[in-house]
Amino acid sequence: MFTSKITGLGHYVPENVVTNDDLSKLMDTNDAWIQERTGIKERRHIKKGDGNSTSVMGVKAAKMALKEANLKATDIDMIVFATLSPDMYFPGGGVEVQELMDMKTIPALDVRNQCSGFVYAMSVADQFVKTGMYENILVIGSENHSGGLDFTTRGRSVSVIFGDGAGAAVVSRSEDDQGGILSTHLHSEGKHKDELALQGPSTEHWVPEIIAENPQEDIPYYPYMNGQFVFKHAIVRFAEVIHEGLEANGLTTSDIDMLIPHQANLRISQFIQQKLKLSDDQVFNNIQKYGNTTAASIPIALSEAHKAGKIKKDDIVVLAAFGSGFTWGSVIIRW
């Protein structure tokens, strides 16, 4: 078995800043409600005509990650692309990246695991590198939420939370048998699939059917979230899967140098921090600036934390996510 290591990180967010006050002009909401419930102050939204899309933002983050890894696009052996908001219903974003970056005819795999998408994607990359099948894998998480949210008062409990952006990591074969990605741990529980979901368009809710039958009131093509239910499950599963990962490597919470939780909601991150008795220095959050960017949130946060010098060689870094499905997972890394 080989070892696998993150050799480059990158992130990109659109320039257009949307504050809570900006949203209060579109719907009945306010800065105090949003900050108190979620910690979010502002988020980025793609602006019509700015050239961004889920795959384009993914490419921007990927180019930064490749530069840091000192690799060219043609050095990459596989793309793993995580998103819930692809540019097209099909094909997925992976092949768009392959084309936009002029890559070889390498495999492009799309991961549909929403907020856990990046953790699942990292796990896939880790397996392919550890078995020796591939040497360098580009893992991307990217989301264009603003294109599909309900910005009327009807959608306020969901639409204030989410933002657009992308993050990327290069996972490479490593000679260092002590460090790198130590393990990944993945889970799902499909009985809760309707608690955080976007039902259409899909084979059960095709667009003509929606338009013909329910033009005004039907909302399956806007995301639905049972917020309190999600909150309760998130705090349990986050803690569980972090402990699972630590125990598998003979580590405890005091060994964590940096926890990068999926940026679901600042209150969820704070709850987990308290539950695991971690100090402020052991947890990185940036949801205040970007909102919840789903599959992009962990790579954006990881890239920012790394660039800010908050992650050093030999640090134990834990990535953990929970989201729609429900699905959840963790990645334990010795940097």
Positions in the binding site for ligand ACO (CB under 6 A): 29, 33-34, 37-38, 115, 156-157, 160-161, 196, 225, 227-228, 230-231, 234, 264-265, 267-268, 292, 322-323
By residue count, the chain amounts to 335
Q: Are 3 and 335 in contact (CB under 8 A)?
A: no
Orientation of helix 297-307 relative to helix 54-69, angle to 10°: 30
**From the centroid of its chain, how far is CA 96?**
19
**Sign of the four-CA dihedral 240, 266, 288, 112:** positive
- Choose between 79 and 115: whose C-beta lies nearer to ligand ACO: 115
Q: Exactly one of 144, 285, 286, 292 is catalytic; name it.
A: 292
Active site residue 285: no
- Choose between 129 and 276: whose C-beta lies nearer to ligand ACO: 276
Shortest reach from residue 30's CB to ligand ACO, in Å: 6
Closest CA to 83 of 20, 15, 165, 156: 165
Contacts of 28 (CB under 8 A, 6+ apart): 153, 156
Shortest reach from residue 113's CB to ligand ACO, in Å: 11
Shortest reach from residue 230's CB to ligand ACO, in Å: 4
> Alpha-carbon Rg of the chain, whole angstroms?
19
- Choose between 156 and 173: whose C-beta lies nearer to ligand ACO: 156
- Choose between 36 and 247: whose C-beta lies nearer to ligand ACO: 36
Per-residue 3-state assignment (H helix, E strand, C coil) for 51-109: CCCHHHHHHHHHHHHHHHHCCCHHHCCEEEEECCCCCCCCCCHHHHHHHHCCCCCCCEE
Q: Which amino acid is at 173?
A: R
Active site residue 70: no
Shortest reach from residue 289's CB to ligand ACO, in Å: 16
Active site residue 192: no
- Choose between 68 and 143: whose C-beta lies nearer to ligand ACO: 143
- Choose between 37 and 130: whose C-beta lies nearer to ligand ACO: 37
Shortest reach from residue 240's CB to ligand ACO, in Å: 15
Shortest reach from residue 29's CB to ligand ACO, in Å: 3
Q: Exactly one of 115, 145, 233, 285 is catalytic; name it.
A: 115
Shortest reach from residue 263's CB to ligand ACO, in Å: 8
Edge-to-edge order in the sheet of strand 316-323: 180-188, 327-334, 316-323, 258-261
210 CB neighbour count, 10 Å cutoff: 17
- Choose between 4 and 20: whose C-beta lies nearer to ligand ACO: 20
Distances (CA, A) of 251 to 94, 254, 305, 333: 35, 8, 22, 11
Closest CA to 169 of 198, 140, 147, 197: 140
Edge-to-edge order in the sheet of strand 165-174: 3-12, 165-174, 136-143, 78-82, 108-111
| Active site members | 115, 262, 292
